[in-house]
Structure formats: structure tokens, C-alpha cells
Amino acid sequence: RVYGGSTWEAYEFTDPVDVGFYRNTYDIRILDAEGEDITDNYEIEKEYGELKIRQGYLLLSSGSASKEYDGQELSNSECKIVEGSVADKHKLTMRAVGTIQEVGFSRNTIQAVIVDENGMDVTELYDITYNMGLLTITPRRLTVQTLDITRPYYSRPVDGDWTIVGGSL
């Protein structure tokens, strides 16, 4: 970069080899118009940011499941890595946490955390895509039949006037 005939350049950057978080260090050199180093003529204050070396892409998938309504909760704990991998010193903990209890459908959501060898959460070092399974509860089928009944005029139906002939509660 050129300022009033002088230029500056950064060099000796942080050069990590492993996935992780690093202090993003550098050094500065200032050169005059003839290319001579005049850095000693400046008091340079450096501020360092954070350098993140990312592992890459992970595709995580959770299982699907379906059933007929029975009043009980439906879940599927199946969860796996479909593509990609974690770094050697990292550990992935994941679980499918989706549930459904009534008729309908719901995504089988995934909770995933990746930690390094010191237990530090490094999940943000990964580009994670979630392929969530589908949990589905379908209506329970019942066949209800009215019975042949004889009753007096103006009387109302009673509980015994019909019965379930197909399916169950």
C-alpha cells in the first residue's frame, strides 16, 4: 500500500497447520519511495484478530419413523455422519431429539457438539448441514357401527346403540 511515496507491507503471518483458533499475528515493514526500510521511524501499535482454521463440511442425518396414532410419543434416536469427518483430536457428540405424540409430522432435529482434546467447544470450526428425518403419526382407523335398536318415540340414543367393529381405541 502506498501513502505519500511510502509503502507498507505485512509479513510473517500466523501460519497454523491444525484446525483451531489462533491469534492472527503479523509483522509490519514500512518502506520509503526508494524501497528502503524506514520502519524504525514509526511507533507501530498492532492489534491482532482471531484466525479460525476450519475443518470443513459435515452432513449429519437423523432417522425417520412413522406409526399409527396410539397416544404414545414417537421418536427415532438414529443419527449419523453421512459426509465429512471431524479432525483427529476432535470428538463429535450428536443425538436426534425430535418427538411427536399427536397426528401429524415433525422434523427429527439433531443436536451436535464438537469438542477438542481440552473439552473446548469447536463446533463453529465446521460447516454443518443437517438432513433431518421425518417423524409421522397417522390417524388411527376405527369403524363404528350402529346397532339395530328398537326404542320408544322421542327417546334419545344411548351408549349401547353402537359398537366398534374395526380397529381399536
Cβ atoms of 94 and 128 closer than 8 Å = no
Task: Calculate what percentage of the chain has a pLDDT beyond 90.
Answer: 45
Average pLDDT over residues 141-155: 75
* Range of 47-51, 99-103, 156-160, 164-168 with top mean pLDDT: 99-103
Virtual torsion, Cα 9, 14, 17, 20, nearest 10 deg:
-130
Task: Give the residues across from 74 on adjacent strands.
Answer: 100
φ, ψ for residue 42 (rounded to 5)?
Answer: -125, 145
Task: Calculate what percentage of the chain has a pLDDT beyond 70.
Answer: 84
pLDDT-based confidence at 66, cuts 50/70/90? Answer: very high
| Gap between the Cα atoms of 71 and 90, Å rounded | 40
| pTM of the predicted model as reported, rounded to 2 decimal places | 0.62
Higher pLDDT, 81 or 167: 81
| Gap between the Cα atoms of 40 and 52, Å rounded | 31
> For residue range 14-37, what is the model confidence (pLDDT) as tens digits?
777 677 678 888 888 888 888 888
| Gap between the Cα atoms of 91 and 103, Å rounded | 37
Burial of residue 6, with CB atoms counted within 10 A of its CB: 0-12 exposed, 13-18 middle, 19 or more buried: middle
CA atoms within 13 A on the CB side of 40: 2
Q: Which three cell numbers stand for residue 49?
A: 484478530
Burial of residue 12, with CB atoms counted within 10 A of its CB: 0-12 exposed, 13-18 middle, 19 or more buried: exposed
Inform me whether the pLDDT recorded for 55 exceeds 80: no
Radius of gyration of the chain (CA): 33
Average pLDDT over residues 119-136: 94
Which pLDDT belongs to residue 25? 84
Strands 91-96 and 126-131: what pairing?
unpaired
Which pLDDT belongs to residue 159? 67
